[in-house]
Structure 1
Amino acid sequence: MSQSQSWQPASNPWLVAMTVTLAVFMEILDTTIVNVALPHVAGSLSSSYDESTWVLTSYLVANGIVLPISAFLSRVFGRKQFFLICIVMFTICSFLCGIATELWQIILFRILQGFFGGGLQPVQQSVLLDYFKPEDRGKAFGLSSIAIIVAPVLGPTLGGWITDNYSWRWVFFINIPVGILSVLAIYQLLEDPPWERKWAKGKLNI
């Protein structure tokens, strides 16, 4: 507790909060934005609707598997590095889903996307805890809650509009600019507290 009170981050905590929350918003949005595109995915890839539901199910299952171990992984690799890896790989997998020509390819890339996306929200929560004083954490987590609530509600509407006006592939491509922006901002703004860096260094040396 004394360490967290004495440490002062170099970047504005609210800028960091908005940056890490943007990445989480992108990940949560992906849980519902694909729903309305499934009939189009099935038709485009000559699959049944039931088969296409694996595009959603595979993502959610992989996401749930990673959530319990993401805190451990963030300490092993370093929180900032782990967060950046997750966003970069999530964005790459989004691109691969968008260019897939077979259903099994999308399912495979969605599993990977869910795996890396699952690490974002736990790390975001720990960042907010470290970057904000106890009296400001309620506001910070309020910002996070808005993203968590709005993203799944916005997903079907946005996914339907994109699918009707463009192509189902753009429900995946839309993550690319958001992912790039998040990576650049997090690389510049986010830093690991001294105790996190020490813990990660010790684990990697072992």
Structure 2
Amino acid sequence: MQQQASLVEYGSRRVIITITAIICALLEIVDTTIVNVALNDMRGSLGATLTEVGWVITAYAIGNVIVVPMTSWLSQQFGRRNYFAASIILFTICSFLCGNATNIWELVAFRFLQGVGGGALLVTSQTIITESYPPEKRGMAQAIYGLGVIVGPTLGPPLGGYIVTNFSWPLIFYINIPIGIIATLLTLQFVRSPKYAEKSKARDIDWIGIGLLALAVGSLQYVLEKGHDDDWFSNSTIILLAVLAVFGMFFFIWR
């Protein structure tokens, strides 16, 4: 309890931390849905097929689900504030690169990396808000966080539609840049990290386990995203990845 109590903030500092965390969570949630309305414009601009442009959504989701299970460990290794700030920076840089992509596969690659950066934003921001409030006010903190996060899925499509109609699709990524820069500066200035136990040495880390987990969740995400389009188990790729997902998770748990 002493460790958690040391992270409790008061006054304007707590307000700034709360706003910063909610903004970061919104960045991740909005970016999940905002691209949906821009897919046709991306397809025409980059000369992509319907299947290829679908990877813009799938790649982000795969990057996201791979990193989310490792968020707690990465926070412990690098410090929560440092890892959170690094994730915002990666997300912001990849937003710029997505807007500057010259072909569909560049965009897909940058979206994957953007998903890796975004994976920490939602989970870690909730933890940061919770630990910034005293125990008796954490219910209120979660309510504030939840209210902010609910806006994300409903904000993305109309915002994306407005941008695509009045400007061009790269702007849906560029709008993340100033927000990401401000969020990074506020994080480094105001967010504190808990005092973790001694970090694991590189040789003590279960790299095989991490690889198995990434293989399992990445394969499963692909199956869930593309299964319907590829007629589920009539497609050899879906069958292969489904098997990899099952065996990857089995051996991860077994280890």
Normalising by structure 2, we get a TM-score of 0.75
Aligned to 2:2: 2
SS at match of 1:167: coil
Aligned to 1:90: 91
- In the TM superposition, what are the counterparts of 1:48-87 in structure 2 within 5 Å? 48-87=49-88
Instruction: Provide closer, same or farther for how the CA distance between residues 51 and 8 of structure 1 changes in structure 2, counting only shifts above 3 A.
Output: closer
Aligned to 2:153: 152
For 1:39 and 1:147, how far apart are their aligned partners in 2? 29
Deviates more, 1:57-66 or 1:88-97: 57-66
For 1:53 and 1:9, how far apart are their aligned partners in 2? 43
For 2:40 and 2:148, how far apart are their aligned partners in 1? 27
Aligned to 2:38: 37
- In the TM superposition, what are the counterparts of 1:97-112 in structure 2 within 5 Å? 97-112=98-113
Aligned to 1:203: 199
Aligned to 2:130: 129
For 1:36 and 1:171, how far apart are their aligned partners in 2? 10
Q: Structure 2 regions of 5+ residues with no counterpart?
A: 203-255
Q: Structure 1 regions of 5+ residues with no counterpart?
A: none
Deviates more, 1:136-145 or 1:10-19: 10-19
Deviates more, 1:139-148 or 1:107-116: 139-148
Q: After superposition, what is the alpha-carbon deviation per residue over 1:161-198, rounded to whole angstroms, capped at 9, x for unaligned?
A: 000100000011010011011011111111113x23xx
SS at match of 1:118: helix
Considering Cα pairs closer than 8 Å and 6+ residues apart, tell me whether 1 or 2 has the greater RCO: 1
> Post-superposition shift, 1:137?
1.1
Q: Does the aligned pair in 2 maintain the 1:29–1:155 contact within 8 Å? A: yes
> Post-superposition shift, 1:2?
3.4
- In terms of Rg, which structure is larger? 2
Aligned to 1:163: 164
User: Which amino acid in structure 1 is aligned with residue 199 of structure 2?
Assistant: K
Q: Aligned residues, how many?
A: 201
Calculate percent identity across the aligned residue pairs: 42
For 2:169 and 2:3, how far apart are their aligned partners in 1? 48
User: Which amino acid in structure 2 is aligned with residue 114 of structure 1?
Assistant: G
Instruction: Provide closer, same or farther for how the CA distance between residues 6 and 183 of structure 1 changes in structure 2, counting only shifts above 3 A.
Output: closer
Aligned to 2:190: 189
User: Which amino acid in structure 2 is aligned with residue 5 of structure 1?
Assistant: A
> Post-superposition shift, 1:93?
0.1
